[in-house]
């Protein structure tokens, strides 16, 4: 049984962490295969949006596997197979697997159908949109283990929630229920567990139906504008608009609207 499953339909990719017997924790094999998949999806122009979820109905992802991954990266155990050797030799694989500093260039929707703890929450934070199940636990438990969130948790959390809440999650290392954290604006939808995947796929399909170059440009401006001044952000937006105005999709969109038909966007 593969530790990672991937399917694609109608320009939407579906990525499933498939270690439900281990709470979808990221062992070395899953890390390597996930890093490789993200690289392929970055280059696959036929995929316009991606949904990431976990197998089973208990846990989205519980972070890095404490029995395999953590001992290897801390040096308490020598690598024992090709996947352990890979993450020992190339620490960037863990960062790429969790989308830490690695941009697919297309929207990723986290379908959080279960608990998201430690690296699992960091993986959720790295996604562009989040659909979360009611009654699941979200938390960063690293400091309770003598570690620190190293895949974006400390760097990204305060960008998504108020400082006081970020500090509580980071320093107390105690999970908070999704229902209680919903008012913070951390995620886009809070739905029943059985509706998480369908809701996420619906969002992904809507995005995939829009002009891919325009989606990419809008997403890029938002991501790059976080630390810019207002004038710098407006300049970035203006440049993106000027570039898009020269594309075939920019002609097709208004034309389809006037002709009362669905647009046929080509990403050109």
| Domains observed in the chain | 4-208 (3.90.226.10), 212-258 (1.10.12)
Determine which one of 29, 142, 194, 237 is catalytic: 142
* Cα→Cα distances 70→28, 37, 146, 219, 251, Å: 9, 22, 12, 33, 52
Tell me the average pLDDT of the chain: 93
Write out the two tokens for 73: 């990266």
Active site residue 122: yes
- For residue 73, the model assigns a pLDDT of 82
Render pLDDT for 80-90 as a digit per residue (tens, 0 to 9): 889 999 999 99
Q: What is the pTM for the complete model shown?
A: 0.94
Render pLDDT for 184-223 as a digit per residue (tens, 0 to 9): 999 999 999 999 999 999 999 999 999 999 999 999 999 9
Rounded distance, CA 125 to CA 170, Å? 14
Active site residue 232: no
User: Residue 66: which pLDDT band, with cuts at 50, 70 and 90?
Assistant: confident
Share of the chain above pLDDT 90, in %: 78
Determine which one of 29, 84, 122, 199 is catalytic: 122
Render pLDDT for 23-59 as a digit per residue (tens, 0 to 9): 999 999 999 999 999 999 999 999 999 999 999 989 9
In the predicted structure, residue 4 carries a pLDDT above the cut 90: yes
């Amino acid at each position: 049984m593969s530790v990672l499953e991937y399917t694609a339909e109608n320009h939407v990719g579906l990525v499933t962490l498939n270690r439900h017997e281990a709470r979808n924790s990221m062992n070395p094999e899953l890390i390597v295969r996930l890093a490789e998949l993200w690289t392929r999806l970055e280059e696959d122009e036929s995929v316009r949006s991606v949904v990431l979820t976990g197998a089973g109905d208990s846990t989205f992802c519980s972070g890095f596997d404490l029995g395999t991954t953590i001992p290897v990266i801390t040096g308490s155990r020598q690598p024992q197979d090709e996947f352990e050797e890979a993450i020992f030799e190339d620490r960037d694989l863990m960062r790429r697997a969790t989308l830490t500093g690695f941009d697919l260039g297309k929207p990723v929707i986290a379908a959080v159908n279960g608990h998201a703890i430690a690296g699992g929450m960091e993986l959720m934070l790295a996604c562009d949109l989040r659909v979360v199940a009611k009654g699941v636990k979200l938390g960063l438990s690293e400091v309770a283990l003598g570690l620190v969130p190293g895949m974006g948790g400390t760097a990204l959390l305060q960008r998504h929630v108020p400082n006081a809440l970020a500090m509580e999650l980071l320093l107390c290392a105690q999970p908070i229920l999704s229902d209680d954290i919903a008012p913070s604006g951390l995620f886009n939808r809070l739905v029943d567990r059985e509706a998480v995947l369908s809701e996420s796929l619906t969002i992904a399909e809507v995005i995939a139906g829009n002009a891919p170059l325009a989606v990419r440009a809008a997403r890029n401006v938002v991501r790059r504008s976080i630390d810019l001044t207002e004038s710098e952000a407006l300049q970035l937006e203006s440049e993106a608009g000027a570039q898009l105005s020269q594309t075939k999709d920019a002609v097709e969109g208004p034309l389809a609207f006037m002709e009362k038909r669905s647009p046929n966007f080509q990403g050109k």
